[in-house]
Amino acid sequence: MSKELTPDQIKNLLQGISIPPQPQIMVDLQMEQVSHECNIDRISDLIAQDMGLSGSVLKTVNSSLYGLSNKITSIKQACSLLGIKSVINIVNALSIRGELSDENIIALNRFWDSAMDVAMASATIAKQIGFHSPDEAYTLGLFHNCGIPLLIMRFDDISECLAASYAQSEQRIIDVENKQLKTNHAVVGYYVAKSWNLPIYLCEAIADHHSCDKIFSDTNYTNTEKKNLLAILKMAEHVCGLHKTLGNQTVDHEWEKLEDPVLLYTGLSAYDFQCIMENCLEQGLGNNGFIAD
């Protein structure tokens, strides 16, 4: 975000929303990363202690996302082949759903289905355009809307609010949320990511993912890491039809405004992007259902 807010301002923005504590595995891995004795064995042991998480990590690294010729059978092998940073990024992404889910709320299950689509599409697009860290794109894709589950659990009318947000074509999506809820999912997501000690450029990308116009119109914008991730995310959101799954809309008004500057920035033609979309759809990414009943 552009400036630090006072505790009272933060309290007003969060509107009684309680930020969940950082998952212990993320705490342990972050502490291990800054340790002088950090090594693959220690990282592997920490992840392997959680059998469910280990299984999810192996399922992810063996998916079409990484396209490995041989099946990975252990966390240590995954760390060796992909690198510790990549595996930790995957763990961070997978830890999110466990902390921000409620099996009793149907809308949350549908939300996470679409979030997984965006995460996979983000990583796929990142690889296709040559971005150096597809796993970071995956993490942002899964985490960027993490404020929405907290809003769903806090406000009864969030589905109607999201529909109204995606329906308008002039204002930002979060402007409608600000008016109706006195807060928005981007700022809530920013504080979740920040409190969980994610890299600052990921936190800021979450904060600004519905405020991209100025970023892509500014040819002198210096934070290329954040700009690259936002470009990938915006393409992935459109491919996966979040205007449908979250907003119950047939037109992606936000993409209409961002398509030209995003494609210009990434050096893609309309035909190139169409090929990317078709590739993602062939992998089963994208959901034309609606989050609201």
Each residue's pLDDT tens digit, 65-84: 777 788 889 999 988 888 88
pTM attached to this predicted model: 0.81
Same domain, 243 and 114: yes
Greatest CA separation found in the chain? 53
pLDDT at residue number 291: 39
Reported as a single tens digit per residue, the pLDDT across 169-221 is 889 999 999 999 888 999 999 998 888 888 888 999 999 999 998 899 888 88
Q: For residue 44, give every residue at least 6 positions away whose Cβ sits within 8 Å of its Cβ, in sequence order, or none.
A: 74, 75, 76, 79
CA 98 to chain centre: 15
Same domain, 61 and 156: no
Q: For residue 274, give every residue at least 6 positions away whose Cβ sits within 8 Å of its Cβ, in sequence order, or none.
A: none
What mean pLDDT do residues 236-255 have?
92
Judge whether residue 6 has pLDDT over 70. no
pLDDT at residue number 106: 64
Q: How far apart are CA 183 and CA 14, in angstroms?
A: 7
Judge whether residue 292 has pLDDT over 50. no
pLDDT at residue number 290: 38
Token representation of residue 220: 């002198």
Look at residue 3 and tell me if it is in a domain.
no
Look at residue 8 and tell me if it is in a domain.
no
Judge whether residue 86 has pLDDT over 60. yes
What mean pLDDT do residues 260-265 have?
95
pLDDT at residue number 8: 64
Reported as a single tens digit per residue, the pLDDT across 116-175 is 889 889 989 999 999 988 888 988 998 899 898 888 888 888 889 999 999 988 899 999
pLDDT at residue number 90: 82
Look at residue 242 and tell me if it is in a domain.
yes
Query: Which of 99, 131, 155 finishes a domain?
Result: 99
Token representation of residue 118: 């965006």
Place 113 in a pLDDT band, splitting at 50, 70 and 90: confident
Task: Domain count for the chain, please give it.
Answer: 2
Query: Which of 45, 74, 99 finishes a domain?
Result: 99
Structural domain span for residue 290:
103-293
Q: List Cβ<8 Å contacts ≥24 apart for 213-219.
A: 213/257, 213/258, 213/261, 216/258, 216/261, 216/262, 216/265, 217/261
Query: Which of 99, 115, 137 finishes a domain?
Result: 99
Tell me the C-alpha to C-alpha distance, in Å, between residue 257 and each of 212, 241, 252. 10, 15, 9
Q: Round the average pLDDT of the chain to a whole number and report it.
A: 85
Interior CA angle at 126 toward 132 and 256, to 5°?
A: 135
| Closest to 198 (Cα-Cα) out of 85, 66, 279 | 85
244 in Cβ contact with 255 (< 8 Å): no
For 269, the 3-state DSSP assignment is coil
pLDDT at residue number 35: 79
Q: How far apart are CA 259 and CA 268, in angstroms?
A: 10
Judge whether residue 282 has pLDDT over 90. no
Look at residue 4 and tell me if it is in a domain.
no
Phi-psi region of 38 (alpha: psi -120 to 50; beta: other; left: phi over 0): beta
User: Around Cβ 168, how many Cβ atoms within 10 Å?
Assistant: 13
Same domain, 144 and 207: yes
